Amino acid sequence: MPFIKKPRTLKPLGAVSIGTGERAVKIGGGNTLPLYFFDAKLSNPPAVGVELTDTAWDAAELPLLAKAYEGAATLAERVACAANMKGVDFVCLRLEGADPGGDNLSVEECVKLAQEAAAACTKPLCIAGCRSEEKDVELFKALAAALQGQNVLFLSAKEEDYKTIGAATVLAYGHKVAGESSVDINLAKQLNVLMTQLGIPKESIVMNLGGAAVGYGFEYVSSTMDRVKAAALEQDDAMLQMPVITQVATETWAVKESMASQADMPEWGDLEQRGIQMETVTAAACLASGSDAVILRHPVAVDKIAALVAALI
Amino acid sequence: MSVDTKLIAASAIRGAHNAVAEAKDFLARAITAKGIDAAVSFPDTNYALPVIYSMLGVKVQKLSDMQAVIDRCEKLLPAGPSEHNWLPYLGDTLDAGMATLFAFEIIEGCKYLIGPNPVNGIWLGAASDVILRARGIEFVDGSAPGFAAIVGAAPSKEAAVRIARELQEKNLYTFIAGNTNGVSFAEQLDEAGVQTGWETRLVPFGKDISAAVYALGFANRAALAFGNIQPGDYKRNLKYNKDRVFAFVMALGEVTDEKYAAAAGAISYGFPTIADTDIPEILPTGICTYEHVVSSIPIDSIVEKCLEVRGCKVKVTKMPIPVSYGAAFEGERIRREQTFVEFGGNRTHAFEYVTTRELDEIENGKVTVIGPDIDQVVPGNALPLGIWVEVAGRKMQPDFEAILERQIHHIINGAEGVWHMGQRDQGWLRISKSAQERGFTFRHFGDMVRVKLTNDYQAIVDKIQVTIFTTAEEVDRRLPEIRQVYRARNQRVESLTDDSVDTFYSCLLCQSFAPNHVCVITPERLGLCGAFNWLDGKAAYEIDPTGGNQPLLKGECIDPIRGQWKNINDYVYTTSKHAIDTVNAYSMMEYPMTSCGCFEAIVAVMPECNGVMMVNREYMGDTPSGMKFSTMASMAGGGQQVPGFIGVGKNYATSRKFIAAEGGHKRIVWMPTSLKEALREDLELIGKRLGIDNFLENICDETITTESEGVMEFMAKVNHPALAMWDITEPSPEAAAVDAAREAVAHG
Amino acid sequence: MALKGLDIFKLTPKTNCKECNQPTCMAFAMKVASGAIALTDCPHMSAAALDKFASATEPPMKTIDIGAGECAYKLGGETVLLRHDKTLVNSNLYGICISADMPDAAIEAALTEMTKIDYERIGKRMYVECVYVKCNSDAVRSAEVAVKAVASGRVPVLDCADPDIAKSVLGAIKEAKPVLCGANAANWEAMNAVAKAADAVLGVSGADLNELHDTVEKLEAAGNKKLILDVGSVSIKDAFANAVEIRRAALKDGDRTFGYPSIVNLAALAPGDLVTQAALASIFTLRYGSIILMERIGYAEALPLFGLRQNIYTDPQKPMRVTPGLYPIGGANENSVCCLTVDFALSYFIVSGEIERSRVPVNLLIPDAGGYSVLTAWAAGKLSASSIAKFIQEFEIDTKIKNHTLILPGKVAVLKGDLEAKLPDWKIVVGPNEAIQLVKFLSTIN
């Protein structure tokens, strides 16, 4: 007896568009469970972003990464390199220099940097802060005004600051915003409810459900995304149907496997190869669990993940 | 409708007629000077004349466009109320108010064209879009709780400064327009040397009353920019303002017809008018959240009254005490030798007490110390203490008193160098020598309570007043009264039954690790973590309406014996992500409530004994089921329905609904001695109620046996009541009757 | 619908005879209901009850045993598609590929690289479990290579579609209980005979799912229920679709014919591209690969993949725990400060990661806190001033560490007073609420 394939038709979810004109990219809008593109004609594939910071990477042991940015002296030049990288759908600029515990750049300096970056960027732009809550709020308020009309995605608003960030980015200047919750389906949903109650349209919200590198409690990330996608697609839960974006690189490049030098861990071998695989494996696992967009750092990981998504379509 | 309302209506309608006439005059002069096609606008805005644009959808760009708006105004203008007809005037009044705002906007627009220029000296005129966006964010995120539109002038310069300062302290914006007999509030500030401008949040728009329209235009633009509301969609625009922009009109000095007309316009936005003079009032609520026009408010308390009438809540950002404050100090201990002064313990009486008052009975933020303060204390002494907290709020309920009162422990412990233990009349507090040296006084108890309760319980606390008593006489005098209240509260909790309420509360806080688990909290079945009862759920929902505790309207009862309701089933089905479709609140054998993992105790069936055992988490030993607590916990937990095993809060064992479908307390055959002791008093009462002597002695424990066979022998010896009951694995005769009845209905 | 504990209890003799090695009939019933033991463990179960039970609870996916001795593994036996629905039971296996066509030196190199990967992670040994041997037409050479695979101490997975060669290679290594891949629509009868004779699990492939389904039905009819299904190597998309369709058919739609574990050969899907293979291995670890084969596995691949697998194959109810003890981080010595967190693996990883990022040497103290997160452990009474004091005493932290500064998680600031009383010669400092604030906090503490 032959195998009987059952039809699995699901309603496409809403997508969030970032960037403008021909360069705009849609995030989300899937109509199948994650990567199950054989179930239905695909409405929109997952997107791959590349991140860079205003401060250049420490690429001492990462020759391939260094090569990708070879000759780029200014932030604008590095952004241009990133945007042209193979497989890149959008660019994520992290304003690490703003960190009050670090370089503590002023809001004005950051605005200037972001404007230069935006001018040089040929792909849609996504802006992440420096993980200092007070600074990010000030930063996003100023950046939203300075980048008016460019339809930027801001990462991220949390339950504590969604009002200010949501109002400044989406309501005042028509950008997009990611709501960040800490790996919990109900917290994610609550934040979506709160943001929509504030008046932010569903079409302007992306979910940043939190992340982890594989091996570091990734089961929570995976199960949370499994449940979010089941709720969105199979139970029609409108408050969980926003697209999911995952900052993979910030997680994977912060763990031992991607940081310990070969001198410290000789048996582990080449550091760059380890970092690439950590990032690639985590990114693939995120996509399989439900990320509609992943943000990566290494050009090899970006290329391979983008190609893999294409191969699955 | 009252005489007052009618007087206001008459006055506002007269004012509207005057305003429209003046606008026509301005427009005529402008056309004469510049021609009918002359361009007209407010500077640096995409919202044209914003009130007209957002209400009518008309983008005024030329003087000819204004002509069309004047025509609309004339249609809106009602005739004055007739002398004999006392029918509703509110609709007419609102129309008149709206016509007035259009007229004012035309007047101000014309001024930009033919003068006098609205921007002049301290006067700023219309706000640009850049200002609108930057400042508008503060209204959306709450960093500006609202704005005060002040029209007229204060009785004195000093009064003006006081009002301005108080509004600034509360982070409100103050929009200033109009004058009283040629004197303006803004000029009063200016003369007193107070800096005005957007930076100080004291914004003088213009000296004429027509400049008040800038404040409403700001509100309208906020709705367009931040509320994604389309121009012309006046209903949604006004509703946005009512729901989200906490503004009010403060009318100082004489209220002219034009001011009435403007106030009438503001009412449409849900912005009430509060006046310091004796003017007619519109008290009943309707458009505004609470009253519409309130008069004769003393100048010293007008700001507070404004906030109250508009329902505007202000957060205090800094704890006004001389020592550090935060959760990090909660665990701090103060030893006797470090103590400067202490209260309670067994040395003196100390109580803390929260009670509900009417809004006008207390003064918000007032803290009084009655008795000696810290500077009159001999170090090392003990004083009596009463922390007497009076709370008022339009959503305050006496049921919340105990919840607020329980916070006092955490609130006071948060201060560095201050230690608190106990609750109600069992308090014990210490203030350390170092806290005393740094200036901590008794009034700071009140300040901490006031600030924290205001900030954390905004939804229910509108006003709070604290009195600290430190003499034996004052403290002891109050004790009998408050002890009676404590008793009444206990009785209230006991008298709350599932049948007496129509709403239960859900708790989804554990879904992060038990994805399908849904707690249904009823008055007679507290949360299984033991930490959360029905009253807590009710308060939590009032405080955070989108949080993890949602009200569940019981709806149709499917099975009164097992405790099953249609709406509860539906809710559990949805929130368990379709994993569970039926839940019985009172049965552990059939469709029992799921368990997360944090339950205090497990009730487990022992079918061979025809009963159940109940084991608390602390009990680590063997049980007669052959499984330890941890083994049973892993079976019963995780949000699955496991008939025969339920996780419960310990106090559920004292509920009348304790496994009611299985026959209740008589089923308990075994429990560890520690649990017996914890529940002894309550269980003995229950035993009496059931007519069983030695109820607890009939229950086996680990000192007798941890073997199933041993329990059966014991039961036979004491003739345990469960032996005479129906087979626990089968439904009770009553439940079977319910089933049969339902069956009969189903089959016609 | 699986039977509930009470339903099963009713089938027992209710005598608590303990012959099933369970203390009571109820305990027995609960264990059967959870799938931990079989109904047949009760010697007093009636034939009628066994019949009734078997039909109600036959597992939707069979559990297949492969390998022998220390390298014996169970595959399959899953009852849910996603781990949060209950738990995933038998974790997937990883393997590398060698072939009879490869020169010995290359084979040695591949095996040596593989055997180097052997480390412990949260109490579990991490290593590659399988070696896939692609046979060629030379039976002797094929057997020789297969023996090398066995000698490496891993489960051999043979790929051989020629029944005669398969028979001869199996003859050399059958004690290792290998998997024999290569059965298809054309050769299934002969391959079945070879596999059965050697008691090897048989890997089945098909041109498409229809053919695979047919072949499995025929093999089952011939009495073989020890099968593994090859998801194919037509394309990445096709292989992934097949893996999902097979598992979904078995667990969701009750198609027992597809109720077998799967095998995925990534070396064939992305030859020469180890990064893409790693990405695919990740996807198949989450979605229904049972044996996942790659060309090579070095540390760069093992570290993330084994970490992922360890995460995914955890019971959602039972958090991973780390062993209590003293963990010096960032070159900490006896003069470095102490930080305390709980033995919940996630807490440990996050906290230790942030400490590493701070580059401040810290002695991380992990007491036994029942494997719960900080607040849960505190609420459950598993993390208290006395449990911490007991830990300090038992692990002799007092004498091992001279710097008696103990940083407490901010969420349990409330323990400070008690701890100061219990540890009078320690300075107790309340740390931040969230691990992410540790970097900043530690920079100020020194």
DSSP track, A188-250 = HHHHHHHHHHTT--GGGEEEE-----TTSSHHHHHHHHHHHHIIIIIS--GGG-S-BEEEHHH
- Cα separation, C262 vs C76, whole angstroms: 8
Inspect the interface and report whether the beta carbons of C245 and A3 lie closer than 8 Å.
yes
pLDDT at C58: 66
Q: What is the topology classification, in CATH, of domain C63-312?
A: TIM Barrel (3.20.20)
Contact call for residues A295 and A247 (beta carbons, < 8 A): yes
pLDDT one-digit tens code per residue, A237-281: 889 999 999 999 999 998 889 988 899 889 999 999 999 999 999
Q: Judge if the upstream peptide bond of residue A156 is cis by omega within 30 degrees of 0.
A: yes
CA distances from A259 to A212, A264, B508, B542, B697 (A): 15, 10, 38, 48, 64
Q: Where are the alpha helices (DSSP H) in A62-132?
A: 63-68, 75-84, 107-120
Closest-CA distance of chain B to residue C387, Å = 14
B597 and chain C: CB distance < 8 Å anywhere?
yes
pLDDT, residue B344, reads 92
Q: Which residues are CB-neighbours of B437 under 8 A, at least 6 positions away? A: none
Cβ partners under 8 Å of residue B18, min gap 6: B257, B258, B261
Report all structural domains of chain B as residue ranges with CATH numbers, in order of start.
Answer: 3-310 (3.40.50.2030), 327-484 (3.30.1650.10), 499-724 (3.40.1470.10)
Neighbours of chain A (3+ CB pairs under 8 A): B, C
pLDDT confidence bin for B81, thresholds 50/70/90: low
Q: Cβ contact (<8 Å) for B643 and C9?
A: no
> Is A24 part of a structural domain of the chain?
no
Mean pLDDT of B605-616: 93
Q: What is the pLDDT of residues B53-69, one digit of tens each?
A: 999 999 999 999 999 99
B141 interfaces chain A, CB cutoff of 8 Å? yes
Query: Would you call C162 helix, strand, or coil by DSSP?
Result: coil
CA B65 vs. chain centroid, Å, equals 46
Residue B87 has pLDDT above 60, yes or no: no
**Spacing of C-alpha B491 from chain mean position:** 25
Chains that touch B (3 or more CB pairs under 8 A): A, C
- φ, ψ for residue B433, nearest 5 deg: -60, -40
CATH for C5-57, options being 1.10.8.60, 1.10.15.40, 3.40.50.10800, 2.60.40.10: 1.10.15.40
Determine contact, residues B374/B441, Cβ cutoff 8 Å.
Answer: yes
* B82: confidence class by pLDDT, cuts 50, 70, 90: low
Instruction: Assess contact for B324 and B289: CB atoms under 8 A.
Output: no
pLDDT at B336 over 90: no
Q: Give chain B positions within 8 Å (CB) of A171.
A: 137, 140, 225-228
Please, which residues bridge with residue B544 across strands?
A: none
Q: Does pLDDT of B512 surpass 70?
A: no
Q: Is A57 on the interface with C (CB under 8 A)?
A: no
Whether A13 is in a domain gets the answer: no
DSSP annotation of B644: T
| Residue B513: predicted pLDDT | 64
3-class DSSP state of B327: helix
User: What CA–CA distances, in Å, run from C167 to B40, C97, C206?
Assistant: 96, 20, 21
Q: Does C430 touch chain B (CB under 8 A)?
A: yes
> Does B211 have pLDDT greater than 50?
yes
**Residues A183-206, mean pLDDT to the nearest whole number:** 90
Predicted local confidence at residue C1, as pLDDT: 34
Q: What is the structure's pLDDT at C345? A: 85
> For residue A205, what is the domain's CATH number?
3.20.20.20
Q: What pLDDT shows up at residue B1?
A: 42
Query: Is B642 near chain C, with CB under 8 Å?
Result: yes
**A198 interfaces chain B, CB cutoff of 8 Å:** yes
What is the pLDDT tens value at each position of chain C, 446 positions in all?
Answer: 346 778 888 888 888 888 888 888 888 888 777 666 778 888 888 888 887 776 566 678 999 999 999 889 999 999 889 988 878 989 999 999 999 999 999 999 999 999 999 998 888 899 999 999 999 999 999 999 999 999 999 999 999 999 999 999 999 998 999 999 999 999 999 999 999 999 999 999 999 999 999 999 999 999 999 999 999 999 999 999 999 999 999 998 888 899 999 999 999 999 999 999 999 999 999 999 999 999 999 999 999 999 999 999 987 767 778 889 999 998 899 999 999 999 988 888 889 888 988 889 999 999 999 888 888 788 777 898 999 999 999 999 999 999 999 999 988 888 888 899 899 999 999 999 888 889 889 988 76
Fill in the DSSP letter of residue A174. -
**Residue A20 included in any domain:** no
Q: Is the pLDDT of residue B90 over 80?
A: no
Reported ipTM: 0.96
Range of the domain at A54: 29-312
* Sheet of B551-553, strand order: B519-521, B503-507, B551-553
pLDDT value of residue C21? 84
What pLDDT was estimated at residue B597? 75
Whether the Cβ atoms of residue C315 and residue A182 lie closer than 8 Å to each other:
no
As a whole number of angstroms, the distance between CA B33 and CA B115 comes to 11
Cβ of A218: how many Cβ atoms within 10 Å? 28
Spatial CB neighbours of A133, under 8 Å, sequence gap ≥ 6 = A158, A160, A161
Query: What pLDDT score does B712 carry?
Result: 94
Mean pLDDT, chain A, integer: 93
Where are chain C's structural domains? Answer: 5-57, 63-312, 325-445
Mark yes or no for CB contact C349/A283 under 8 Å: no
Q: Which of A139, A140, A154, A163 to mutate to test the interface with B (most CBs of B within 10 A)?
A: A163
Return the pLDDT at C54. 65
- Confidence band of A127 (pLDDT split at 50, 70, 90): very high
Q: How many domains does chain A have?
A: 1
- Each residue's pLDDT tens digit, B419-454: 998 888 988 999 999 999 999 999 999 999 999 999
Q: CATH fold of C325-445, please?
A: Rossmann fold (3.40.50)
Cβ within 8 Å, pair C276-A223: no
Give the separation between CA B259 and CA B265, rounded to whole angstroms.
10
How close A82 gets to chain C, by Cα (Å)? 20
Chain A positions in Cβ-Cβ contact with residue B136 (cut-off 8 Å)? 167, 172
- The predicted-structure confidence for B516-545, as pLDDT tens digits, reads as follows 889 999 999 988 877 678 988 888 888 878
Question: How far, in Å, CA of B718 to CA of C215, rounded?
Answer: 66
Flag whether A3 is in a domain: no
Q: How many helices (H) and strands (E) does chain A have?
A: 11, 10
Instruction: Examine the pLDDT at B89 and tell me if it is beyond 70.
Output: no
A201 vs chain B: nearest CA distance in angstroms?
Answer: 8
Instruction: Answer yes or no: is A235 within a domain.
Output: yes
Of A255, A273, A284, the CB nearest to C282: A284
pLDDT at C138: 95
Rounded Cα distance, C218 and C220, in Å: 5
B574-606 tens-digit pLDDT: 888 888 999 999 999 999 999 887 788 999 999
- Mean pLDDT value across residues A187-200: 89
CA B395 to mean position of chain CA atoms: 7
Q: How far apart are CA C407 and CA B421, in angstroms?
A: 25
Residue A203, in any domain of the structure: yes
Select the residue of C24, C84, C430 nearest B625 (Cβ to Cβ): C24
Asked if B577 and A227 come within 8 Å (Cβ–Cβ), the reply is yes
Closest partner CB to A281 (pick from C241, C279, C349): C279
Contacts of C138 (CB under 8 A, 6+ apart): C100
Interval B85-90 mean pLDDT: 54
* Residue in B327, B333, B608 closest to C421 by CB: B333
